[in-house]
């Protein structure tokens, strides 16, 4: 079993990009009345404390979400910020407040800090949105044993009723195929493996090829690191060749650092038409605010 734990990277610049995109896509899909199935193939622990030893060891939230929220709190930056950034920040603050409220029911002496403490992973973000509607469902997969235990614990606090939420400690690539096509006939899939196992690059392509064969109209959000490795560099081109409309957003916050990624991307298959203009407005701001060495940059391409 590989050593990857997402708590090391919770709230990183890569998380900011991935989750801001995910929230926009999920919100758009919920504008239609028809029920929606959301699937997270690599769900992690569900949610994270930025005060945990793991998160402090990585420290990536300080350059990521915490830095962004501090910037939003200065002057009239919140008012001027693009809607995609404001919406993301509002969800984070609401989630943090809800967790604190739940904790203070057991210990009223607890007091929230000045900074964000609890960060929602993709499962927690999706659960909050899906809870707004009575027929939407969430399916979660996590292969890492320790992460799966934490995820199961998180589901006990999820706002979704048990009959609308299910998690499985297993392979999300294989689990996804078993769910398609969904009875709802609408699906949002998040696929963000750690890529610690280099076979993940090929497995992403094989899984998506099979998924699109079964359900060509699903919306698929694929996160990936931007690295010098050949398989990492080739992944976006391979995704483009799957033959569906696509959008590819990439953001770099610097050229190098001792720990953590300086660049990552989100590839969306069958993206909503609102996503491109939202990102063209938000990406320049995100890359500039979180840049580490005056080398922040962004790219956005669409096709298919």
- Return the exposure string of 47-73: e unless at least 16 CB atoms fall within 10 Å of the residue's CB, then b: bbbbeeebbeebbbbbbbbbbbbebbe
CA of residue 287 relative to chain centroid, distance: 17
Distance CA 56, CA 54 (A): 5
The residue from 192, 197, 202, 293 that is catalytic is: 192
Distance CA 290, CA 67 (A): 7
Distance CA 64, CA 262 (A): 11
Using DSSP, state whether 117 is helix, strand or coil: coil
Distance separating the N- and C-terminal Cα atoms of the chain: 37
Closest CA to 65 of 123, 128, 10: 10
Distance CA 6, CA 152 (A): 15
Using DSSP, state whether 234 is helix, strand or coil: helix
DSSP 165-213: EEEESS-HHHHHHHT-S-TTS-EEEEE-----STTHHHHHHHHHHHHHH
Q: Confirm whether 200 is a catalytic residue.
A: no
Q: Which residues contact 117 (CB under 8 A, 6 or more apart)?
A: 49, 50, 51, 96, 99, 100
Distance CA 152, CA 43 (A): 11
| Beta carbons within 10 angstroms of residue 77's beta carbon | 16
CB 204 within 8 A of CB 42: no
Distance CA 275, CA 35 (A): 21
Q: Which residues are catalytic?
A: 192
């Amino acid at each position: 079993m590989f050593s990857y734990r997402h708590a090391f990277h919770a709230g990183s610049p890569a998380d900011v990009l991935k989750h801001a995109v995910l929230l926009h896509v999920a919100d758009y899909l919920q504008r239609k009345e028809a029920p929606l199935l959301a699937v997270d193939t690599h769900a992690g622990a569900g949610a994270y404390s930025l005060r945990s030893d793991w998160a402090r060891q990585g420290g990536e939230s300080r350059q990521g979400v915490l830095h962004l929220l501090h910037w939003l709190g200065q002057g009239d930056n919140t008012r001027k910020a693009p809607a995609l950034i404001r919406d993301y920040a509002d969800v984070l603050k609401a989630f943090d407040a809800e967790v604190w409220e739940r904790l203070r029911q057991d210990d009223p002496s607890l007091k929230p800090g000045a900074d964000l403490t609890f960060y929602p992973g993709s499962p927690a973000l999706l659960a909050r949105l899906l809870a707004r509607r009575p027929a939407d469902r969430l399916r979660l997969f996590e292969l890492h044993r320790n992460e799966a235990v934490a995820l199961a614990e998180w589901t006990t606090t999820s706002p979704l009723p048990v009959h609308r939420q299910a998690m499985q400690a297993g392979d999300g690539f294989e689990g996804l195929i078993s769910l398609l096509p969904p009875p709802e006939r609408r699906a949002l899939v998040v696929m963000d493996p750690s890529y610690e196992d280099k076979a993940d690059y090929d497995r992403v392509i094989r899984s998506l090829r099979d998924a699109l064969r079964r359900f060509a109209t699903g919306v698929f959000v694929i996160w990936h690191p931007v690295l010098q490795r050949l398989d990492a560099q080739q992944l976006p081109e391979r995704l483009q060749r799957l033959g569906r409309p696509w959008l590819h957003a990439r953001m770099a916050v610097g050229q190098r650092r001792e720990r953590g990624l300086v660049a990552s991307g989100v590839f969306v298959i069958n993206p909503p038409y609102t996503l491109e203009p939202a990102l063209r407005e938000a990406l320049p701001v995100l890359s500039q605010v979180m840049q580490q060495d005056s080398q922040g940059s962004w790219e956005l391409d669409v096709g298919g």
